[in-house]
Each structure stands twice: as C-alpha cells, then as structure tokens.
Structure 1
C-alpha cells in the first residue's frame, strides 16, 4: 500500500535534486560571466535502477551516462521506449566495443590508440559513425585512466584520421579531494589543452566534459560544457 507514496516521494527527491544542481550551475555561470545555455547536465546512472532513472527522464533529461557497458546495455533496453541517448563515461575495453555500439551515442573515454582503431574499424564495418571525446588524465593519478596531456596531440592525430569518429572534445576526471578547489588545475589544464589542440588541428572541439557532484562549480568556472552528476541527483551509491 505504501509503494505509490514512496514512489512519489522518490520522484520528488530526484527532481528536486536536479533542480538544485541546475541552481548551482546557474550561480557558477553568473560568477564566471558565462552563458548558462553553454552548460548541460549529464545525469550519471551508475547503480541506479531504471525505475529511478525514469524520474530524471520525466524531468526532461534525455541524455544519460553510464560507466560500464553491460550495465548500460541493460538499462538502455529497459528504457528503450523513453527516447533517451547514452554516453559511456567509464573505461572501455576493446572486447566491449561491439556491444557498446549497439546503443551508445557518445563514447567519452578514448584514451589509447588501439582503442581508437578498434572502435573506428567496427564503425566502418557497420557503415556508421559515433561522437567521441578524448579522455585526458589531468591529475596524474595512476588510478585514473586517460592519455597524459603531453601525449594528447599524438593521440589526437590518430583520432582525426578516422572519419568514423566525430571528435567533439575532451573529458577528464578531477583530482579526488574533499576540497573542490584542489581540482581547479585539472580543469584548467583540460581547457588549455583543448584550446591548443583546436589551434593545431583547425578543428572545433566545443565539448569539455568535466566536473562531478562535488566539484561542478569549479569545473563550470573553468569552462565545462558538460557536467556529469550522479550522487547529487540520485544519492550516495550503495
């Protein structure tokens, strides 16, 4: 008997959390003198069941993000009638590329040449293309994936040669810290690297995917166009 009440309460909580994230971004844009329309929220659904994801979709968020291919595949199937698109934001293994291409619209984690080639070859065989971002390890942490900044130009050349890859920009994960200010240099490094790669290649790279629940304000102040938010929307992961 309590399930409808609980569902209504959960819907309200998720949608209120999304509104609070939007408010935080509004404030950061105002401080930075940025156009608010230039920053999008990407809800991250890691560990979140489809019935809770539906509350975000209902609120108008139709581009979602997942970390693991197998989890994303199941959720994409469960929500297939909702008209949503999916970004893959976790480390992609080469043997998962074929499965990912069945539903993912953007892969944010290109970070090595053999993955670029496998992805592009699979797309060529399908007669398709996909949006991609290059993941850069701006923190220097050994625990984080991503090409190192000094090697990014070389990888960019490999990506740019493959017409199957619609290269839109860069992605990074900030330094893990309780103080959001500790991540500022990571985000600034990504923005400067993007600017340098644009100048070298003559190609527009409009997307900077950076910032998460705890440091999104700093990311927006440093130029983020796509903010990946999970726990601030759906609560702490179990």
Structure 2
C-alpha cells in the first residue's frame, strides 16, 4: 500500500498556474507563427471529471496572471456533461466564470444547462436549436450557440456532417433568442498533422462561407472552437479562436 499523499492545495495551485502559463505560451507562440495576435485566441478549460475545488484553484491562478498582465484574456470553463455542470455550478458561482457547454445536450436537460452557461457549443440539430430558442426567446441577452461539425467523418464523434453544416447554421441563425456565434469541432484523432489540419481548414472555410453569405443572423458567426491539448498549434494555424484544453492543465483523466 502506498504512503503517497495527494498534493497540498498550495502545491496543486502552483502546478496549475505553471501549466496554465505553459498553455498560454504555446498559444502565443502558435499565434506568432501564424502571424496572428495572441489576443485572437482564447483558452477554454475543459473540466470534465475535474472537481470544483481544482477548478477554483485554476481560476484563481488565471485571475492572478490576468491581474499581472491585463493584456491577457481570462480563461473560460467548458463542461461536457450537464450533470457535472449542475453539480459544480453552485460551488463556482461566486467566481462568475464564463461557462460553455461543450458536450452533447439532450432536450430534457436544456433548462438545467441554461441556468449555468452563456454558450452551447454542441448544437447538432435544428430541433435542439429550436428548443434553445424557445427557452431563450424572452431573455434580454441572446444565448450564444455554435454548430458542432464532424469534420473528420469519424463515427465516434458528434457533430453534423460537413455537407449539411451550412444549411443548419443558416437555419439556426434565423431563430430568435439565440445568436449563431460560430462553429465547433473535435479534430481528427491522428498523428498525421496534415490530415488534422485539413479538417480544421474545412471548418474555417465553412465559417467564412456562412459569414459572407449575408443571411440574417450570420454577421457574428466568427468563432472557431477547435483544437485541444495535443493539437492546439495545428488549430491556431488554421484560424482557431477558441482552444479547449483539459489534460494540459489538469493532467490526464483517471481511467474508468
């Protein structure tokens, strides 16, 4: 039996702060290589299976970094599961994080999710978009939504096929109560950097097609949420405006 003890909070805070700084450095370097300002890309902390106490430590570390360098943009929080979102929400409420839902959303969980998020990145059908629209039509501020696209065609990934994504986006953009803010994808799982990049390039091309369509509600559809801990540089090179990092900050998730 091991005598190892979990890290003290102060030690964990230092680790999280160092990892966050490393991620920011990677993003800044990738932006420089792509000829883009570092401010073009925001970091979203993917907090699946991460408890609220560690998320608080990470947010505190980030707040300290932003206080030291006001040019930095505060990180966002992204939850995959509504159940976790609801469980952690009260423990994080005083910090007022900007929180996105980045995982699938079932219609019977829409109300629960909307209490905590300012953006749903995982819209994959017009039916879901309409449900969100119905719930948000009377809100003073529209709910930001991203259309999730399966650019790789992998059956294990969620998302509307690339060939159907533009039509869905235009339909979503026309709905009241929601604002089409852009697109999200989970990149191809492959060591082939060119293949991964091709998928991200296709999402950027889709975004540009919708932005220039002139269709109602498409003027703000600029976001490209793509790239994670292992491939954020590839995503930034192809226009990502939001990268979702989990393991690069919180470490590997425990095995099921």
TM-score clears 0.5: yes
Q: Give the Å deviation of 1:127.
A: 6.4
Q: Equivalents in 2 of 1:150, 1:55: separation in Å?
A: 42
1:78 is displaced (CA, Å) by 1.0
Given that 2:41 and 2:243 are in contact with CA atoms closer than 8 Å, whether structure 1 keeps it comes out as yes
| Counterpart for residue 226 of structure 1 | 242
Cα deviation 1:67-92 (Å, max 9, x = unaligned): 00110111111111112121000011
Is the CA contact 2:139–2:177 (under 8 Å) kept in the aligned structure 1? no
SS at match of 2:164: helix
Q: Distance in 2 between matches of 1:115 and 1:151?
A: 15
- Find 1:139's aligned residue among 132, 152, 160: 152
Where 2:120 maps in the other structure, the secondary structure is strand
Aligned mates of 1:176, 1:19 — CA distance in 2: 25
- Mapped to 2, the partners of 1:62 and 1:41 lie a distance apart of 5
1:177 CA drift (Å): 2.1
TM-score (norm 2): 0.87
Question: How do 1:31-180 and structure 2 match up within 5 A?
Answer: 31-58=33-60, 59-60=62-63, 61=74, 63-124=76-137, 129-180=142-193
Q: Structure 1 CA distance, aligned partners of 2:130 and 2:6?
A: 49
C-alpha distance in 2 between matches for 1:228 and 1:146: 16
Partner of 2:252: 236
User: Which residue of 221, 245, 255 maps to 1:205?
Assistant: 221
* Counterpart in the other structure of 2:231: 215
Q: Secondary structure at the match of 2:12?
A: helix
Q: Which residue of 2 aligns with 1:190?
A: 203
CA shift for structure 1 position 21: 0.6
SS at match of 1:167: strand
Range moving further from structure 2, 4-13 or 202-211:
4-13
Q: Tell me if the contact between 1:173 and 1:210 (Cα under 8 Å) persists in the aligned partners.
A: yes
Distance in 2, Cα, partners of 1:43 & 1:87: 10
User: TM (normalized to structure 1)?
Assistant: 0.94
Tell me the matched-pair count.
237
Paired residue secondary structure (2:118): strand
Deviation digits for residues 75-115 of structure 1 (CA, Å, limit 9, x no counterpart):
11111111212100001111111111111110001111111
Unaligned runs of 5+ in 1: none
Deviation of the 1:128 alpha carbon: 5.6
How far residue 160 of structure 1 moved from its aligned partner, in angstroms, is 1.5
Q: Distance in 2 between matches of 1:214 and 1:16?
A: 17
SS in 2 for 1:201: coil
Q: CA deviation at 1:209?
A: 0.5
RMSD: 1.8
